[in-house]
Structures are given as C-alpha cells and as structure tokens.
Amino acid sequence: MKKLFLLTTVILFAACQTPTASNEPKMSNEDISSALKEKAVKLQDAILTQNLEEFNKHVDESIPFTSGESNLKKFIVMNSERFNAEAKAKWGSFELYDINVALSPDSRTAVLTFYAKGDYTVDDSDAIDYSTRASSVWVSTKNGWKIMHSNWAPLEGGTGIPE
C-alpha cells in the first residue's frame, strides 16, 4: 500500500508540472522590458529605412500587425507590401523616448507607451517638426516577441506624418 501511495504521488506530481515552451531559462520582467524597448526602436528604424529584413524579425505572418498612423487616418495593416510604396516623407531625424513597458500577469503580452520626436520634409518643403505619443502591443510567440498593434497620435499641438 505504501508503494502504491508513493507511485501515485510521483505520477500526480509529474502530471502537475507545467511544461515550458522551450528549454531556455525564463527571462525576468526587467529583461523582457529591456528587450522590448530595443525591439520597438529597431522595428521603427526598419520601417523608416524600409529595411524589410529587419522588419520581418519583429512581425509574425500569422498575427496581423495593425497600426493607427499619426496622420489620424483609418487603421492600416503593416506588412511587407507596404515597403513597395514610395515614402512621402524624408526623415531628417527620428527618436523614440520615454518608453514604458506594462506586462500582463503571465508576462506573455506587453503594452509599450512612448513618445517620438524628429523632423521630416515633403518634396522641397522646409523641415516639419514631428511630435507624437504612441503605444504598441507585443505578444510572446514560439518565435520570440512580435508586434501586434501600434497607435500613434500628434502630441499636444505636435505634427504627425503627412497623409
């Protein structure tokens, strides 16, 4: 009877163990936050420079990446097809700053809030100052953290991107 009890206990204990998604050690929330801040900057640089290879590191084909651009038009789907369009704005400078990361209780979803500033020109115009506030939603997948959604809006009298 004692052996049966011991065997049952071992089986129950093994059955209750949560399998990990991979053999990698779990990252701390601080490490996740740091990595996501870096990914947000790299993704935006890839979009501005139309670097499709880098862009693809931050998106997942099975997860639509929607964005509300700072020109306040309808939401768009960001994908590789958008890289074929000629950019209307030529960026002089662009910077994300004050990036904050809020993780879900299971640390598998993150909302980043941040600000962006810089300047751009359209055709032969003088430089236009750019100032927005933004947020993005990232999800942890088997292929790493991927962006799912972003939303941008002019910051208190600031200017977003051209139409």
- Has residue 7 got a pLDDT over 50? no
Cα 19 from Cα 57, distance rounded (Å): 26
* Averaged pLDDT for residues 121-139: 93
Among 3.10.450.50, 3.40.1080.10, 1.10.10.920, 3.40.390.10, name the CATH number for the domain at 27-154.
3.10.450.50
Is 151 in contact with 133 (CB distance < 8 Å)? no
| Phi, psi dihedrals of residue 30, rounded to the nearest 5° | -65, -40
Query: Which DSSP symbol is given to 143?
Result: T
The total number of residues shown for the chain amounts to 163
Chain position carrying tokens 């499709």: 52
For the segment 55-100, what is each residue's pLDDT rounded down to a tens digit?
Answer: 999 999 899 999 999 988 999 999 888 877 777 888 999 999 999 9
pLDDT score at 22: 44
For the segment 19-51, what is each residue's pLDDT rounded down to a tens digit?
Answer: 444 444 688 999 999 999 999 999 999 998 889
